[in-house]
C-alpha cells in the first residue's frame, strides 16, 4: 500500500512536471492598445478588442501562445497617447502596439515606436503624414487622407460644383485633409477656394465664419475636424440660415457615430469618404453589423468599428505567421518577427472595401495598406443614423505623393 502510494505520488509529480514544462513552452504575446475611448462607440471598440483576444486565448491562443492585452484610453490627447505608448513599450514591454484613433495622437507615437523598435499598427488615424515619417515599424489599416481627398475632389468637381468653402479645425488630420483637397481641386479643376479658414480646436462658436460663407453662396461647404466640431459646424450652418441647397461634405471623422448623433437632422445629405459603410450588402459586412448590434448594442456601425475588426484579423494572421520565441531575451527578435509578418500580409480581404496589402519598405506605398475609399452620404441623422454609398474607388498606390 505504502509502495503504491509512493508510486502514485511520484507519477503525479512527474505528470505535474511535464505539464509545467509544457506551460513554459507556450509563451505570452504582449499587445498594448491605446485608443480614443471617450464615446460609447470608442468604449465598445475597446470592448470588442478585449473580447476578440479573450476568444483567441479561450481557443488555445495563437500557435499555443496566449495574448496578454493592455488596453489604455488616450482620450484623443497627444500627451496621454505618448505617455501610454511609453508605458506600453518600455514598462509593459509589449511585442506589438495598436494605436491610436486620432492622427494628432498617432503622429507623436510613431516616434516612440520607431525609437523603441516596436511594431505599431494603426486602427483609425488617417493623416498622410503618419506613414510619410518612413518608420519601418509602422503599418496603417485605415485609408490615408491622400486617398480620401482624391475620391472627394473628383466627386465634388464632377458632381457638385467648384465653388467650395473650406473650414477646418486646427488639428493635424483636418489640416492635412483640407489643404490636400484644396490642392487637388486646384490641380484637377483649376479652382481656388472660395473661402478657406481654420478654427481653434476648442472653439464653440463658428457662426462668424459661417455667415461669411453664407454671403459667398458656395456650391459646397467642406468641413474638417473631429466629429464633435463637425457636428457643431453643421448645426450652426443651419442656425445662420445656410440653406440645404448648399451641399455639405465632411472630412473622414464625420463618419464617426458621434457626428451623426450630435448633429441630428443637420447631418442629412452630408457626404464623406470612408473605409466602410454599414449599408454594404456583402455577407461578411452583414454578419459583422449583426454581431456589433447584438453584442455591443450599436445600431449604426461606423468605419471605426470595421477598421478595428480588420486590424484584429490582420494581427491574428501576422502573429500566426511570425516565428516567435517569447523568452525573456527574445523581445527585440520577436518584435522584428511581428513587424516582418505584418509586412508580409498581402491582399487581405475583410470588411474594407478593397484588399489590404503591406510590404517591407518603410514607405507610404508599402505602409498605407488600404487604398479603396467609399463615398458615403447620410440619409438620416441621430442615434440610428443611416447612410448610402455614392461611389467606391481604388486609388493608384502613388496617388498624392
Partner 1 sequence: MFFDFLIVGLSIGIVYGIVALGISLIYSGLDIVHFAHGEIFMLGAFIGLVLFNTVGLPYPVALIMAMIATAVIGVVIERVFYRRLTRSGGGYTVAGMGMIIVGFGMAIILQNIAFLAWGATSFGYDPIYGPPVDLGGISLPRSYLWIMVVAITLMTILNFFLKHTKLGLAVRAVAANKEIASLMGINVPVMISVIFGVACALGAAGGVLIGPINFVSVEMGYLMLIKAFSAAVIGGFGSLPGAILGGLIVGVAETFGAAYISGSHKDIYAFILLILVLMIRPSGIMGVIVKVKA
DSSP codes, 253-311: GGGSHHHHHHHGGGGTT-EEEES--TT--SHHHHHHHHHHHHHH--SS--HHHHHHHHH
Q: Are the C-beta atoms of residues 342 and 98 closer than 8 Å to each other?
A: no
Of 38 and 191, nearer to partner 1 (C-beta) is 38
In the bound state with partner 1, the residue whose beta carbon lies nearer, of 150 and 381, is 381
Residue among 100, 384, 132 at smallest CA distance from 261:
384
Q: How far is the CB of 69 from partner 1 (least distance, A)?
A: 22
Q: Which residues contact 64 (CB under 8 A, 6 or more apart)?
A: 25, 26
Cα four-point dihedral sign 383, 386, 391, 395 = positive
Q: Which is nearer to partner 1, 117 or 197 (CB)?
A: 197
Q: Are 223 and 251 contacting, i.e. CB atoms less than 8 angstroms apart? A: yes
Nearer to partner 1, 148 or 195 (CB): 195
Q: Nearest distance from residue 266's CB to partner 1, in Å?
A: 9
Is 61 or 382 the residue whose CB approaches partner 1 more closely? 382
CB-nearer residue toward partner 1: 75 or 172: 75
CB nearer to partner 1: pick between 144 and 256:
256
Min CB(98)–partner 1 separation in Å: 20
- Contact letters for partner 1, residues 127-166 (x by CB under 8 A): ----------------------------------------
Nearest to partner 1 of 192, 215 (CB atom)? 215
Residues 6 or more apart whose Cβ sits within 8 Å of residue 129: 103, 107, 172, 176
Q: Which of 116, 122, 231, 387 binds partner 1 (CB under 8 A)?
A: 231
According to DSSP, the residues that pair with 69 across neighbouring strands are 31
Extended strands (E) in 310-383: 368-370, 374-380
Closest separation in Å from C-beta 105 to partner 1:
14
C-beta closer to partner 1: residue 190 or 241: 241
Q: Which is nearer to partner 1, 228 or 391 (CB)?
A: 228
CB of 209 to partner 1, least distance (A): 4
Size of residue set near partner 1 by CB under 8 A = 35
Q: Does 47 bind partner 1 (CB under 8 A)?
A: no
The reply to whether 338 sits near partner 1 by the rule CB under 8 A is: no
Position 240 contacts partner 1 (CB under 8 A): yes
C-alpha 221/C-alpha 237 separation (Å) is: 10
Q: What residues have CB less than 8 Å from 401, skipping those under 6 apart? A: 146, 364, 365
**At its nearest, how many Å lie between partner 1 and the CB of residue 184?**
22
Contact characters 256-295, partner 1, x per CB under 8 A: --x--xxxxx------------------------------
Query: Nearest Cα to 270, choosing from 221, 227, 303?
Result: 221
- Among residues 308, 9, 319, 296, which one has the least CA distance to residue 141? 308
Peptide bond into 133 cis (omega under 30): no
Q: Of 71-100, which residues contact partner 1 (CB under 8 A)?
A: 75
By CB under 8 A, tell whether 211 contacts partner 1: yes
Contact yes or no for 203/172 (Cβ under 8 A): no
The residue from 238, 313, 317, 393 that contacts partner 1 (CB under 8 A) is 238
Quick one: which of 26, 55, 208, 379 contacts partner 1 (CB under 8 A)?
208
Give, as ranges, the residues between 167 and 206 that touch partner 1 (CB under 8 A).
Answer: 170, 197-200, 202-206
401 binds partner 1 (CB under 8 A): no
Distances (CA, A) of 51 to 54, 68, 165, 256, 375: 5, 12, 43, 22, 30
Long-range contacts of 86-90 (CB under 8 A, 24+ apart): 86/112, 87/32, 88/32, 88/34, 89/32, 89/113, 89/116, 89/118, 90/116
- Contacts with partner 1, residue ranges (CB under 8 A): 38-40, 75, 170, 197-200, 202-209, 211-212, 215, 228, 231-232, 235-236, 238-241, 258, 261-265
Amino acid at each position: 500500500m505504502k509502495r503504491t502510494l509512493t508510486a502514485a505520488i511520484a507519477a503525479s509529480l512527474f505528470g505535474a512536471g511535464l505539464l509545467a514544462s509544457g506551460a513554459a513552452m507556450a509563451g505570452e504575446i504582449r499587445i498594448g492598445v491605446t485608443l480614443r475611448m471617450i464615446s460609447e462607440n470608442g468604449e465598445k471598440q475597446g470592448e470588442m478588442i478585449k473580447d476578440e483576444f479573450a476568444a483567441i486565448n479561450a481557443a488555445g491562443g495563437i500557435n499555443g501562445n496566449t495574448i496578454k492585452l493592455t488596453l489604455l484610453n488616450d482620450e484623443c490627447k497627444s500627451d496621454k497617447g505618448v505617455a501610454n505608448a511609453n508605458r506600453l513599450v518600455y514598462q509593459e514591454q509589449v511585442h506589438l502596439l495598436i494605436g491610436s484613433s486620432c492622427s494628432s495622437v498617432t503622429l507623436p507615437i510613431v516616434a516612440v515606436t520607431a525609437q523603441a523598435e516596436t511594431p505599431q499598427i494603426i486602427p483609425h488615424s488617417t493623416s498622410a503624414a503618419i506613414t510619410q515619417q518612413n518608420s519601418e515599424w509602422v503599418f496603417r489599416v485605415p485609408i490615408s487622407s491622400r486617398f480620401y481627398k482624391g475620391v472627394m475632389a473628383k466627386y465634388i468637381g464632377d458632381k457638385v460644383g467648384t465653388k467650395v468653402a473650406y473650414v477646418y479645425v486646427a488639428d493635424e488630420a483636418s489640416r492635412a485633409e483640407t489643404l490636400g483637397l484644396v490642392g487637388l481641386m486646384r490641380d484637377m479643376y483649376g479652382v481656388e477656394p472660395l473661402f478657406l479658414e481654420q478654427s481653434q480646436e476648442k472653439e464653440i462658436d463658428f457662426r462668424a465664419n459661417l455667415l461669411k460663407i453664407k454671403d459667398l453662396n458656395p456650391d459646397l461647404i467642406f468641413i474638417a475636424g473631429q466629429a464633435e466640431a463637425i457636428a457643431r459646424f453643421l448645426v450652426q450652418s443651419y442656425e445662420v440660415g445656410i440653406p440645404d441647397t448648399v451641399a455639405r461634405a465632411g472630412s473622414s471623422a464625420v463618419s464617426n457615430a458621434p457626428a451623426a448623433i450630435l448633429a441630428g437632422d443637420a447631418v442629412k445629405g452630408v457626404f464623406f469618404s470612408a473605409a466602410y459603410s454599414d449599408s454594404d450588402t456583402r455577407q461578411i459586412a452583414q454578419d459583422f453589423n449583426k454581431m456589433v448590434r447584438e453584442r455591443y448594442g450599436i445600431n449604426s456601425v461606423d468605419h471605426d468599428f470595421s477598421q478595428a475588426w480588420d486590424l484584429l484579423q490582420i494581427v491574428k494572421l501576422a502573429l500566426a505567421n511570425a516565428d516567435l520565441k517569447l523568452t525573456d531575451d527574445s523581445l527585440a527578435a520577436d518584435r522584428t518577427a511581428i513587424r516582418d509578418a505584418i509586412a508580409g500580409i498581402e491582399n487581405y480581404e475583410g470588411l474594407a472595401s478593397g484588399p489590404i496589402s503591406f510590404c517591407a519598405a518603410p514607405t507610404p506605398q508599402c505602409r498605407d495598406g488600404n487604398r479603396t475609399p467609399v463615398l458615403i452620404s447620410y440619409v438620416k441623422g441621430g442615434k440610428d443614423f443611416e447612410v448610402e454609398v455614392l461611389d467606391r474607388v481604388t486609388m493608384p498606390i502613388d496617388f498624392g505623393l
